Amino acid sequence: MSNRDSFSSKFGILVALAGSAVGLGNLWRFPYLVGNNGGAVFIILYLLFLIVICLPMMITEFTIGRRSQSNVFGAFKILSQGKKGKAWGKIGFISVLSALVILSFYSVVGGWTVDYITQSLCFNFKEGLDYEQMFRYSSENAFRPLIFTLVFLLLTALVVIMGVNKGIEKYTKVMMPLLFVMVILIAVRSLTLQGSNEGVKFLFRPDWSKFTIDTVLAALGQSFFSLSIGCGTIITYASYVKRNENIVRLSTETALMDTLFALLAGIAIMPAVFAFGLTPEEGPGLVFVIIPQIFSQLPMGGIFAILFFVVLFFAALSSSISLLEVMVAYMIEEIHWSRKTAVALSTALVTILSVLCSLSLGVLKNVSVLGSNIFDFMDKLSANILLPVGGLLFVLFAGWKMSDKEYFDEITNDGNLKFKPLFLNVLRFIVRFVAPLVIVLIMLVSLLK
């Protein structure tokens, strides 16, 4: 497959991976889930899943993608060749489906970031305004969010059309460091607000009475969501990675960066929530209500607000790109469409669903799917069901269909990299037993409750 795109440098791969992982999941979804699920308990569970389950899964997705050098569909077809069980070749389907479902609400939130860029450019964030109402206006209106969502989707499509090298790599290199600086700045301001202590306690002092199976499932889902695991993003990106890269190190660095961003986002948001006398259970609007409020109280806040929302937008964009690429790579390699056709059709499909998601916060508020509005349903369906199921199938495949030798050859670059045998054995044990059991158990208990 010599005509396949590939990343041009190690730094390029790392920023693209980090670009996919770090996004609205860290800055928007994580803080509001922490708020809804009781704070520290959620964070502890999230970190636990991250280390024990998600990092090994990320390494595993890497293994599958780089070994097969193929899209999510092709990967399982290629790797199961000559082995029993044709059905394995079909796992890719669930990945393409989750990418579609995630993008449908992700692009709506991406649209809000575009909206907030325009508002910050008009210096609309003044002290003493009702930011909850402002957010409601931006999200519940019938047309306004649709336009911004469309802008966000078209920009995503544009970058994906340009291809992996010129599109994805170039933007993330500049934006990630900038985002980091911005979040630290906000965290410092948030911590120095009067009354921020309660927020810090909420983040770091566990109240175990908040421990429920829903919290466990939400933490599992969020750890998948945040690391972009279970949907084939990593498989797809890994297929563009050269054979001499160290995939264990790349995965660990990505996971570390992602975790750092999530924790920093928590520290940036929660202390301010308490300092402003708001409740943490604000839901999906949390960040959009808190951040402008913080900026309205900062010297030169107006300028910082512009910067922040621009950077947030780029973080969201580098993630949505990675999601669209899952669908596009599949369409190019399996259906043999051109990149342009694949991007056009997948974007059209996403647009239809995202219109529904957006309207479900306003006009279609009363339409409920299994007790949630369409937006929340898509969010929960992807993070709490599709990603864990996808991830489960990936580890089962790598653990039981791929031989130890195949798995280790890929991780050690055919023996060229040395790892401690203990590390390799623990990794293999987690992939074969721990990860599948934990995922099945949590999903079963939450289904049966």
| 25 part of the interface to ligand TRP, by CB under 6 A | yes
Minimal CB distance residue for ligand TRP: 25
Q: C-beta of 383: minimal distance to ligand TRP in Å?
A: 7
Alpha helices in 335-373 (DSSP H): 339-359
| 225 part of the interface to ligand TRP, by CB under 6 A | yes
**Piece of 162-170, 318-326, 372-380, 402-410 that binds ligand TRP (CB under 6 A):** 318-326
| 23 part of the interface to ligand TRP, by CB under 6 A | yes
Nearer to ligand TRP, 29 or 189 (CB): 29
Q: Point out which residues pair with 369 in neighbouring strands.
A: 372
The token pair at 205 is 């002092």
Q: Which residues neighbour 107 within 8 Å (Cβ) at sequence distance 6 or greater?
A: 149, 152, 153, 156, 320, 350, 354
Residue window 88-117: x/- pattern of binding to ligand TRP, with contact defined by CB under 6 A: --------------x---------------
Nearer to ligand TRP, 134 or 160 (CB): 160
Q: Report the distance separating Cα 323 and Cα 328, nearest Å.
A: 9
Q: C-beta of 320: minimal distance to ligand TRP in Å?
A: 7
Q: C-beta of 261: minimal distance to ligand TRP in Å?
A: 9
Closest listed residue to residue 397, CA positions, set 93, 83, 98, 101? 83
Q: Report the distance separating Cα 55 and Cα 74, nearest Å.
A: 23
DSSP-derived 3-state class of residue 445 = helix
Q: DSSP secondary structure string, 268-293?
A: HHHHHHHHTT--STTGGGHHHHHHHH
| 233 part of the interface to ligand TRP, by CB under 6 A | yes
**Residue 196 — φ and ψ, nearest 5°?**
-80, -15
Q: Report the distance separating Cα 436 and Cα 441, nearest Å.
A: 8
Among 117, 265, 323, 328, binds ligand TRP (CB under 6 A): 323
| 231 part of the interface to ligand TRP, by CB under 6 A | yes
Instruction: Supply the angle between the helices 10-21 and 170-191 in degrees, to the nearest 10.
Output: 50
Residue window 379-398: x/- pattern of binding to ligand TRP, with contact defined by CB under 6 A: --------x-----------
| 272 part of the interface to ligand TRP, by CB under 6 A | no
Among 107, 226, 236, 239, binds ligand TRP (CB under 6 A): 226
| 228 part of the interface to ligand TRP, by CB under 6 A | yes
Q: C-beta of 372: minimal distance to ligand TRP in Å?
A: 19
- Compute how many residues bind ligand TRP; rule: CB under 6 A: 16
Nearer to ligand TRP, 100 or 430 (CB): 100
Q: Report the distance separating Cα 32 and Cα 39, nearest Å.
A: 10
Site of interaction with ligand TRP (CB under 6 A): 20-21, 23-26, 102, 225-226, 228, 231, 233, 319, 322-323, 387
